[in-house]
Amino acid sequence: MSTYSLDRREFLRLALAGSCVPVFPGMGRGESISYDRTSWYRDAKFGMFIHWGPYSQASVEASWPIMTPKPGGITEAAYRALPSTFNPVKFDPDAIVDLARLAGQEYMVFTTKHHDGFCMFDSSYTGYKITNTPYGKDIVAQLAKACEKDGMPLGFYYSPPDMHHPGFRDTTRPASENWHGEPQRPEWPSYLEYMQLQLTELLTRYGPVAIVWFDGLDHREKYNGARILEMIHTLQPRTLVNDRIGVDGDFETPEQFIPPAIPTRGIVLSGIDQEPAKQLKKTTPSPEDFRLWETCMTINDTWAYNKNDRNFKSSQSLIRSLVEVASRGGNFLLNIGPQPDGQIQPEFQQRLRTIGDWLTVNGDSIYGTTYGPIQEVSGLRSTAKDKAIYLHVFDWKSPVCEVPGIETRVISARLLATGQLLSFRQFEGKLQIDVPQQPPDQDISVIALKTY
């Protein structure tokens, strides 16, 4: 691992511990600015999302089979009974953290409770939890310990919807009838209190929490998000919060898609609705107008483990998604769903390791960068850091790579993979770079430009 990565890890540790530290070199465009709660996150760029629970035993998606059941699918009663046989004896939190590091991922977000209401931590306020399964141990506690030992920032996914709690909905009825919640019932305040109590547990028992990642689905105003946000910032002032609790958060979360242009303030991109993204202007915004964002995405088509889902994205496709996201200033949160025994399936491991191999060589073009000046150019993506511009070449064309829109003076050009200096010519806002016949990287080759 490079010295840069080690320094960055120490920066993350200090930032999350609340130490007064400067912004990491290369943050943003190299501007000297005061410490920002989001600095570590902006620098990290690539994270691991983990969806896991008893539902992995049935190879079904988390929660949705009881919320929107399909003919011939698992019944609600059978789904509810899955914790009675959940015993992931091969769960190794250190191995999962190691896998994330090998992939080049700089933070993790774990599902502490999905919409079904089952808790993967030892909550004092419900019996529907991991410590009441045959496994009997607190998964979140083990993962938090492994992350703390490694210096890996850990965030918690927490679902405001809860199909199990009688305050959220009338649980005598099928979840498919009232999964949106019933805030009009007199029991609703008891559910809001339950949420706050569980969030307090997560924020006081497991060390520094990098992120609280809510997934409030629809009509999020019913969760009294302002009060929740105030509570989080009181307990852990440096914890980042996403935008799915009914109030503006620290970052937006487009799901399973990458915005076609750089996100700006005032346009909400949360969730699977891609319509707002069409309003984005395909221009390079000022830093003040930029909106911090994160795309979350699966490796196949499902968030949870599903032995029948073999529609895996290729390693190259995932690397290109990471580059697409970084070129627009975002973070890429890539999901894995552990198997019922706690292990990660080989297809996921192989892809994550391949991404990590690419980042070992090309990581300088991703970590600590922001969106680059070259946008909307076919076959090219760009990121920027300090006085460097990184050109990610999707379509390698020798003998010359032509780059429009470079306004600043270029001092040098080199292949990031090999260090080879490349000759170039700059005139009338265009840059022509002489490149080898074969690309140095079969996935994406990167040309690093040093500018004046």
Q: What is the pLDDT of residues 275-299, one digit of tens each?
A: 888 888 888 899 999 999 999 999 9
Which one, of 163, 177, 82, lies nearest residue 116 by Cα?
163
CATH class of this structure's domain 3-370: alpha beta
Write down the H helix ranges in 18-92.
Answer: 39-44, 64-67, 76-80
Q: Are 158 and 213 in contact (CB under 8 A)?
A: yes
CB atoms within 10 A of CB 243: 24
Q: What is the number of residues in the chain?
A: 452
What is the pTM assigned to this prediction?
A: 0.92
Cα four-point dihedral sign 301, 307, 312, 315: positive
Q: Tens-of-pLDDT digits for all 452 residues of the chain? A: 333 344 555 555 555 555 444 333 333 333 333 358 999 999 999 999 999 999 999 999 999 999 999 999 999 999 999 999 999 999 999 999 999 999 999 999 999 999 999 999 999 999 999 999 999 999 999 999 999 999 999 999 999 999 999 999 999 999 999 999 999 999 999 999 999 999 999 999 999 999 999 999 999 999 999 999 999 999 999 999 999 999 999 999 999 999 999 999 988 888 898 988 888 888 889 999 999 999 999 999 999 999 999 999 999 999 999 999 999 999 999 999 999 999 999 999 999 999 999 999 999 999 999 999 999 899 999 999 999 999 999 999 999 999 998 889 999 999 999 999 999 999 988 899 999 999 999 899 999 999 99
| CA distances in angstroms from 77 to 69, 80, 81, 280, 298, listed in the order given | 12, 5, 6, 45, 28
Q: In angstroms, rounded to a whole number, what is the distance separating the alpha carbons of residues 20 and 33?
A: 13
Where along the chain do the CATH 3.20.20.80 domains lie? 3-370
Where along the chain do the CATH 2.60.40.1180 domains lie? 372-451
4 φψ region: left (φ > 0), alpha (ψ -120 to 50), beta (else): alpha
DSSP secondary structure letter of residue 447:
E
Peptide bond into 134 cis (omega under 30): no
Which homologous superfamily is 372-451 in?
Answer: Golgi alpha-mannosidase II (2.60.40.1180)
Cα four-point dihedral sign 121, 123, 128, 132: positive
- So what's the pLDDT on residue 32? 34
